[in-house]
Amino acid sequence: MLNQVNLTKQPFEEIYNSEDFTLENALIEHELITQNSIHHPVFENCLFKNVTFIENDFEILEINNCQFVNCDFSGEDYSKSSFFKSEFKESKLVGTKLPESYFSEVHFTDCKMDYATFSDSKFKSTKFTDSNLTSSDFVHCTLQKTIFDRNDLSEVSFLETSLARIDFSTCKLERLEVAQNQLHNCIINREQAAEFAIQFLGIQIR
């Protein structure tokens, strides 16, 4: 859990004063962070508030124990990134590319994440709550102890991803892109079961 008492307000450019490009114990707020090119930047024990990221090249980004509040990552490409014990609240990740990434103990709350790409990523103890994930891509992902609670998952692609023991019962699942065998042992509500019966079996329920 991030301890905000130990944070020091500083500009993002302070990361360039570190030989290994590590930003640590920083409060970053009301900034436009744009057109930075950094190999393996590390954000550790940081709070970002009202920050917009545009056209940055963060190769192999690593984020550990950070919180992002009302931040905008829309359209950014952070492929092959790693996220540990971090939280995204009321933030935008519309069209954000995060393929081949690793998420451990990460929580997304009230975020706009439509058209985000997570293909070939691994999730462990990660939670999505009250977020819009419409048309996002979870193709060929590993979902270990991953929770989806009250999200819009319309038109999300879960192809080649095991959904066993995943609870979707509180989510909106319209036109989910998934193979019939992937639904084995996942948890859905009665209305969702009826929709999948129509989708896969051609059954009409009256």
CA dist., res. 58 & res. 63, Å (int): 11
pLDDT of residue 80: 97
Mean pLDDT taken over the chain: 93
What's phi and psi for 153, nearest 5 deg? Answer: -110, 25
| Residue numbers of the chain with a pLDDT score lower than 70 | 198, 200-206
Dihedral Cα 195, 201, 204, 206, nearest 10 deg: -60
Partners of residue 30 on adjacent β-strands: none
pLDDT of residue 187: 92
Strand ordering across the sheet containing 62-64: 22-24, 42-44, 62-64, 82-84, 102-104, 122-124, 142-144
Show the tokens assigned to 110: 């009230």
Which secondary structure element, helix H or strand E, spans residue 198, and what is its range? helix 190-201
Kindly list the structural domains of the chain, giving each domain's residue range(s) and its CATH number in brackets, ordered by start. Answer: 73-201 (2.160.20.80)
CB of 41 closer than 8 Å to CB of 21: yes
pLDDT of residue 181: 82
pLDDT of residue 30: 97
pLDDT of residue 201: 62
136-170: pLDDT as tens digits: 999 999 999 999 999 999 999 999 999 999 999 99
